[in-house]
Amino acid sequence: MSSSFPALAPYETWSATCDTLHAHTQVLGKLAVALAPPEPQLQHAALRLTTRGWETLPLPAPNGSGAVSATLDLRVHEAVVEHSDGRRRHFPLGPDRPVGAVARQLLDAVRELAGPVAIDPTPQEVTWTVPLDEDEQHRTYDRDAVEAYFAAATRAALVLAEFRAPYRGRSTPVNAWWGSFDLAVNLFSGEPADPPSDDFLMRNAMDSQEVAVGWWPGDARYGRPAFYAYAHPAPAHYADGVLSPDAARWDAELGEFVLDWEAVAASPDPHAAALDFARSAFRHSCQACDWDPSLPESAMGTPPPVR
């Protein structure tokens, strides 16, 4: 495998396709919310980025017949529903297949294979409000743009997985978040924290001290693909940190440290540069937030996870 990272265009050049793909992922996320046993920090709602694309974990079949999963297969551009007994339904993703049509077909397949299910079709953390199963607006699907996104997201996910691997505190896997359309790992100190607000998402997702490191392909707020990092709760001087590599910087509008994908891809060793960003962000966050010194040391592999 080449050590170079693929190019990924700014959000504005493929925003219509990006938003369609984002909306498709929300249907999978809503299915996970409906069927998975609830977990702290809403972990049951998270999806995974696999070698096929965005997937749910195996979910309990509503009729008690086993497990069911749903996938957006970005290699062959299909939505797939599979039951643990081997039954499978699949249908295309592509131009002029609006999100609403795909959502209805996917949910019908789940009902056929696994029993009755209902989701809350209201989209979350996005600018549009039309229910997912009625969405005829989001129908642009450029296969080349999706494949470029998937190639970049795969490289980013590998960085995040390596970063979190040695950590001996509680951490998440590499989550694919369908609300914010990003990939992220969260490392926790073990101490509680006050959520930044009392709305449902914040009071459940951010009730513990944490450092988050992630990647997203850009959006209307920040139009470039980038890695990001933040701590919660963060002290007043948190933004003063100097991270590696040199292209890393604090973005006051986002309230996060960012490292643009373009800078990573241009470096001699992109994977190492992105990993350096993640590790330096975590070291800075732990020091600024006064975490137990053994926690950042474990994230650097001391002691090693396997001896």
Q: Parse the chain into domains and list their residue ranges.
A: 11-134, 143-299
Name which of 249, 265, 263, 272 is nearest 152 in CA terms. Answer: 265
Tell me how far apart the alpha carbons of residues 247 and 259 are, in angstroms, rounded to a whole number. Answer: 6
- Looking at every residue in the chain, the average pLDDT score rounds to 96
Digits of tens for pLDDT over the chain (307 positions)? 457 899 999 999 999 999 999 999 999 999 999 999 999 999 999 999 999 999 999 999 999 999 999 999 999 999 999 999 999 999 999 998 999 999 999 999 999 999 999 999 999 999 999 999 999 999 999 999 999 999 999 999 999 999 999 999 999 999 999 999 999 999 999 999 999 898 898 999 999 999 999 999 999 999 999 999 999 999 999 999 999 999 999 999 999 999 999 999 999 999 999 999 999 999 999 999 999 999 999 999 999 999 8
- Coarse DSSP helix, strand, coil percentages of the chain, rounded to the nearest 5 percent: 35, 20, 45
Tell me how far apart the alpha carbons of residues 149 and 59 are, in angstroms, rounded to a whole number. Answer: 26
Tell me how far apart the alpha carbons of residues 289 and 167 are, in angstroms, rounded to a whole number. Answer: 17
On whether the CB atoms of residues 244 and 280 are closer than 8 A, the answer is yes
Cβ-Cβ contacts under 8 Å for 297 (sequence gap 6 or more) = none
Helix (H), strand (E) at residue 78: strand 78-83
Q: What is the predicted pLDDT for the residue at 2?
A: 55
3-state secondary structure of 62: coil
Over residues 152-194, the pLDDT tens digits come to 999 999 999 999 999 999 999 999 999 999 999 999 999 999 9
Q: What is the predicted pLDDT for the residue at 35?
A: 98
DSSP state for residue 239 in the 8-state scheme? G
Q: What is the predicted pLDDT for the residue at 3?
A: 74
| pTM listed for this prediction | 0.96
Q: What is the predicted pLDDT for the residue at 1?
A: 42
Q: What is the predicted pLDDT for the residue at 90?
A: 98
Amino acid at the residue 129: T
- For every residue of 175-228, DSSP letters joined together read EEETTTTEEEEEEEEEEE---SSSSHHHHHHSSEEEEEEEEE---SSS-S-EEE
On whether the CB atoms of residues 195 and 179 are closer than 8 A, the answer is no
